[in-house]
Amino acid sequence: MNIAITTQGQSLDSRVNPRFGRASWFILYNTEDESWQAFENPAETQRGGAGIAAAQFLADKGVETAISGRFGPNAHQALSAAGIKMVMFEDKEQTAREVIDDFLAERLSKPA
């Protein structure tokens, strides 16, 4: 499964970023082979529609689950339309690696 985590930096040891559309980076992680890549969020500096553009970026990358601190209504709608599941973390001090561990252990919540 391909997941995406919103982060402040470009490594698994980077802190997470709670903002989906305005996150600086996405860490794309493959849960099957544990490979990963970091991508700058092309929507971060957009004037409007950042959540929608970020959702499209992840859809184009084949992401199946997006993990962030929160999803705005437009991002939620765009991700749902693309068939991408949304999962939320609460601890904004965690690293991407810790969030991946929590995801795999099913300790994260899904948005309402």
Residue 112 falls inside a structural domain: no
**What is the value of pTM for the model shown?**
0.95
* Average pLDDT of the chain to the nearest whole number: 96
Closest listed residue to residue 24, CA positions, set 52, 5, 37: 5
- pLDDT for the residue 53: 97
User: The domain spanning residue 67 has which CATH number?
Assistant: 3.30.420.130
Q: What distance, in Å, lies between the first and last C-alpha atoms of the chain? A: 22
Strand-strand pairing, 2-7 and 25-30: antiparallel
Question: How do residues 37-54 score in pLDDT, each as one tens digit?
Answer: 999 999 999 989 999 999
Considering the chain, what percentage of its residues have pLDDT values greater than 70? 99
Q: How far apart are CA 28 and CA 66, in angstroms?
A: 9
Contact 78, 72 (CB under 8 A): no
Tally of domains within the chain: 1
